[in-house]
Structure 1
């Protein structure tokens, strides 16, 4: 048995992943265990979970890998500070203590994190190699083009290459400070959202605006060539030398300083979101066309933070540039832990790889911990919870489907936790997509977040093309692609409707709760092979209602990670206005709980309440 542990840590969203004899055994983000959103500390708890899943200790590991090269990253930081000196002095002073105290001593930190038990070597690979490996090796392709785009690794911000068999070769790159990921993050910052976590909010805001600033972005901020390569005009940015993303020149271009968090969202913010989304899609599509032309590959693997831009992914797939596209579900830095482990196995150790054209090797990305009924019963009893227990899963599915059909909001905690940022049904909050009021109810009364945020549908794979304009043969098991709602399900009003964020009020389809204001939806297809219990629930709802889809949003509230344990699930259930909680075979009704109360929306979000 050969066990390889991969680690990503100390920058953003730490994670650990374990492969044994080439098979992915476990992977998880540290934030799920510590309950600290985007926890960047050494993934101690995630490592312990991965080792326990394989029933081994740290001294039994054959290899340990880290997802990037810290000395090369430090070289980039020093060179950047020197290039902008003395303007970067404050940023330099802020960054150096952590580098001197921790990041330049990662071997020591990793060995310490493994309890001093691991004595063998530690492998460091480049950031974009980890991304590329995380995308290609689990994919169903024997060979493919590879595209990785993010903020920045060591120097690379975009990497292009190919994978064949068990080998990966990256042969083109764009280097810092020119970065499509950092450009998108600059607009995230400017519109008042948090960098490295609010980019998906900016993507969700884009359909409320018009891309009227796209030409200004192309003329002033970025030069895009026909092959997708680009250069930024650094006079408009401050991330090289300062503590913010944008400069005064950027603020003057758009006529105001950055929006302060929690202040009202303006039409300018919506239009800027729409504009940078269009520009980002242009870069992605041009780069993909260039890759197809230069590599001749029929398939594409995507990774890096930009690969979480579901709207761009949907456009890329619908354009048909490649015959097939596979996107790593944990496309951000967390996925680097899996990437470096697989890179060691296949490329460093030269172990063979056999791709299965019918499925990927990601196991539905259900790679986190699960809990048995005995553990759950003990936990619920200690918490004083009142519950019903179902031995029969089919009967449980029928009961939950009935509650959903009655417009109840359900927390579902079953099976292994998802790896990556998306809840795929096992740590999810579910609702009836036919309900016109369900989006606002779930945003404001359950998730305690901005009411413009869209919800995603999960749908039985066999019915996906009935409801969404998806190309033939395409599925979307990891909720990483946006497609339009099918024309026959759309409801269009020719008269002038609401404007701005008020657009969320309008009914746009027969499944209004998952239809965004531009008639699109971020689709998750569900099949029996990847998740039979979830498929059974959807089938039960379909039999009862004739509707083969449900609302699916992550099981957490604003500012918290997705729940990991039964205790996390119960606390979240009691802290929100969810009606029912399902934890494996246990069903809890809010009305039965002795300390159940109604929870009002947080006061600082009341300005977003559109009801």
Structure 2
């Protein structure tokens, strides 16, 4: 059975294809279009999935779209009606688009798909699972669990904003659901907006800013109290009630009512390029604490409802790896699986899997440890793709016929303080670089975080970098007892590796906390001694694993800085052309692509060819 899944028309469009329950390919449209969070129809992603799988459109058994547009339209109408006359302007702006286009989504989908090849609508049904079912399916079915509790959290789908489910065999049962406008995801996005970051893409910046807040300071404690008394009521089971008189997202084009929030908190919304002071750090920490409390309560409720030992998570809030790390440490569940493409992109995969197991009722395939294949599900490129681009850019290079020699040479470059662009195999599905399209650097370097942020990534200096570590060695560096293959858990650096901060540390401004040495792996140690960890397994990514082994032999450390191969406001590189362009425009020292190392320093021109 061959099923194509699609997510589109909101943000982060994607396509995925499965065959007899096996995930064959999945990719986000942004990687091809080079438009960050591209919301359009994922024609290039669909084309890639079909080409890679060797399946024609006409051979598909079904096409699944990740939500139900009519339910979403119903929610919009009921919301505007409930808040009338407030939101009239927004209503008049939104309705023509819906009436002319979105209500006829089936027609649009068939039209766009028809551009890619012949398609008989009578033989290939178009299915529409609900948004949160797609999220739940994206997490449960690829997990290695026969039975699991499932928690999905995001901004909003059609009506649902969070769901508590149970997966058993091939079935998913929804146990509880919270509906719009009450949403943990939208609460977090409201603070993303107020702190001057872009909604639906800047939430990870807010999470990275939070540790710069003064946890025990009066301002942070005051903000937590304001959130929990004026903005949101948190119930024992983790459900929440957002006080809509303080928000604008239900019927307007802004997340919050700026004047109301300025009165509540005592300071204005930060503009995108405005100064970042301690107030916004404390605010980020306050909403992060509230988020963690809600997630923990939901997990306890889910445990009580299901009695399951395993937990699956998806939805945009599942990318909050700080909350995930604390949930993991609480040991409510023995094992956790978080969908690496937890946001809307993963909905494409979930829709296809829901069609396979729920609509068609096929027996479920269970793969261990999971069926995501390291999330390395995108395009791959061979020498015939690389060499024409290499000739175009004409950088000095060396070819290695032996992968062991390639990883040894790369490890030596990293150990010598160089920054390396690493482009190998199939690209990652999801927002994280996992050792296929990565920028790598020495975790031991005190200067590396600053250099990477300002000279390579061209982004805010407060943002941390993640470590990739040999799975079997992770416990030597981090307070981690489980695995974290998809960089979705935050844990502390090992206490024995931490360097005490000065006595006046908490009273300092965030900028004064930035570049203090906090451990013997400072480039991957955040201001609160935390790290967003990727454990690298030999079975999943053998070449990347071997590189880390060689780096350990070279330096004594089997850990490396691993950040996405891109610059600010651009998608992660996808093709050799993308990689060479990014390499040339930044201060990356070397590009390792396929069997070649390209350099900007002359001594690399020792060639075997």
Band the TM-score falls in, shorter-chain normalisation = over 0.9
Instruction: Report deviation, 1:592.
Output: 4.9
Q: What does the per-residue CA deviation read over 1:525-571, in whole Å, with 9 as the maximum and x for residues that have no partner?
A: 00110100000100010000000100000000000000000000000
1:488 aligns with 2:496: yes
Once the 2 structures are TM-superposed, how far is the Cα of residue 95 of structure 1 from its aligned partner? Answer: 2.0
Distance 1:480 1:507 in 2: 24
Give the direction of change, closer, same or farther, for the CA distance of 1:312–1:387 in structure 2 (3 Å limit). Answer: same
Question: Are positions 1:167 and 2:175 aligned together?
Answer: no
Spell out the pairing of 1:447-462 with structure 2 (5 A cutoff): 447-462=457-472
Deviations for 1:494-518, whole angstroms, at most 9, x for unmatched residues? 4323432221121000000000000
Q: What corresponds to 2:293 in structure 1? A: 282
Does residue 470 of the first structure (1) align with residue 480 of the second (2)?
Answer: yes
Q: Is the 8 A contact 2:21 2:365 kept in 1?
A: no
Report the counterpart of residue 522 of structure 1 in structure 2: 532
Indicate if the aligned counterparts of 1:17 and 1:337 stay in contact, CA closer than 8 A.
Answer: yes
- 1:142-541 correspondence runs (5 A): 142-210=146-214, 211-212=220-221, 213-247=223-257, 248-356=259-367, 358-471=368-481, 474-497=482-505, 498-541=508-551
Equivalenced residues, count: 590
CA distance in 2, matches of 1:95, 1:525: 44
* CA deviation string 1:124-166 (max 9, x = no partner): 0100000000000000100000100000000000100100001
> Could you give the per-residue CA deviations for residues 31-51 of structure 1, whole angstroms, max 9, x where no partner exists?
000000000000000000000
Deviations 1:408-457 (A, max 9, x none): 00000001000000010100000000000000000000000001000000
SS for the counterpart of 2:200 is coil
Give the whole-Å Cα distance in 1 for the aligned partners of 2:189 and 2:411.
40
TM-superposed CA distance for 1:294, in Å, is 1.4
The separation in 2 between residues aligned to 1:371 and 1:100, in whole angstroms, is: 42
SS in 2 for 1:326: strand
Contact 1:142 1:354 in 2 (8 A): no
Say whether the 8 Å CA contact 1:455–1:514 is kept in structure 2. yes
C-alpha contact 1:165 1:354 (8 A) present in aligned 2: no
Q: TM-score, normalised by structure 2?
A: 0.95
In 2, the alpha carbon distance for the partners of 1:303 and 1:561 equals 21
Provide the secondary structure at the position in 2 that maps to 1:177: coil
State how far apart, in whole Å, the 1-side matches of 2:103 and 2:392 are.
44
Alignment of 1:86-125 (within 5 A): 86-115=85-114, 117-119=118-120, 120-125=124-129
CA distance in structure 2 between the aligned counterparts of 1:24 and 1:15, rounded to whole angstroms:
14
Secondary structure at the aligned position of 2:601 is classed as helix
Distance in structure 2 (CA, Å) of the matches to 1:14 and 1:593: 43
In structure 2, how many angstroms separate the alpha carbons of the residues matched to 1:299 and 1:385? Answer: 50
1:561-598 deviations in Å (ceiling 9; x for gaps): 0000000000000010000001111111023599xxxx
Cα deviation digits, residues 85-127 of structure 1 (max 9, x gap): 2221222233223322321111111111212622221000100
- Conserved? CA contact 1:136–1:301, under 8 Å: yes
2:23 is aligned with 1:19: no
Does residue 70 of the first structure (1) align with residue 80 of the second (2)? Answer: no
1:54-94 per-position Cα deviation (integer Å, ceiling 9, x unaligned): 11221111110000000100110111112222221222233
Question: Could you report, residue by residue, the CA deviation over 1:181-235 in whole angstroms, capped at 9, with x for unpaired residues?
Answer: 0000000000000000000000000000034211221111111111111111111
| SS of structure 1 residue aligned to 2:514 | helix
Aligned residue for 2:591? 581
SS at match of 1:505: coil
* Preserved CA contact (<8 Å) 1:385 1:593: no
In 1: Cα distance, 2:574 partner to 2:502 partner = 46
Question: Are the equivalent residues in 2 in contact too, given 1:67–1:336 (CA < 8 A)?
Answer: yes
Q: 2:69 and 2:470 mapped to 1: Cα distance?
A: 44
Contact 1:313–1:480 (8 Å) recurs in 2: yes
Give the match's secondary structure for 1:114.
helix
Counterpart of 1:36? 35
Q: What is the distance in 2 between the residues matched to 1:159 and 1:523?
A: 27
1:266 shift after superposition? 1.4
Instruction: Note the C-alpha offset of 1:321.
Output: 0.7
Report the secondary structure of 1:26's partner residue: strand
Residue of structure 1 equivalent to 2:607? none
Shift in Å at residue 300 of structure 1? 0.6
CA–CA distance in structure 2, aligned partners of residues 245 and 251 of structure 1? 14
Residue 131 of structure 1: aligned partner: 135
Asked if 1 retains the 8 angstrom alpha-carbon contact of 2:277 and 2:509, the reply is: no
Contact 2:447 2:523 in 1 (8 A): yes
Cα distance in 1 between the residues matched to 2:96 and 2:330: 47
In structure 2, distance between residues paired with 1:102 and 1:47:
21
Hey, what's the Cα distance between the residues in 2 that align with 1:9 and 1:593? 47
- Provide the C-alpha distance between the structure 2 equivalents of 1:521 and 1:465, rounded to a whole number of angstroms: 13
Give ranges in structure 1 of 5+ residues lacking alignment. 595-611
SS in structure 1 of the partner of residue 532 of structure 2: strand
Which region of structure 1 is more displaced relative to structure 2, 406-415 or 78-87?
78-87
Mean Cα deviation higher: 14-23 or 98-107: 98-107
Residue number in structure 2 paired with 1:55: 54
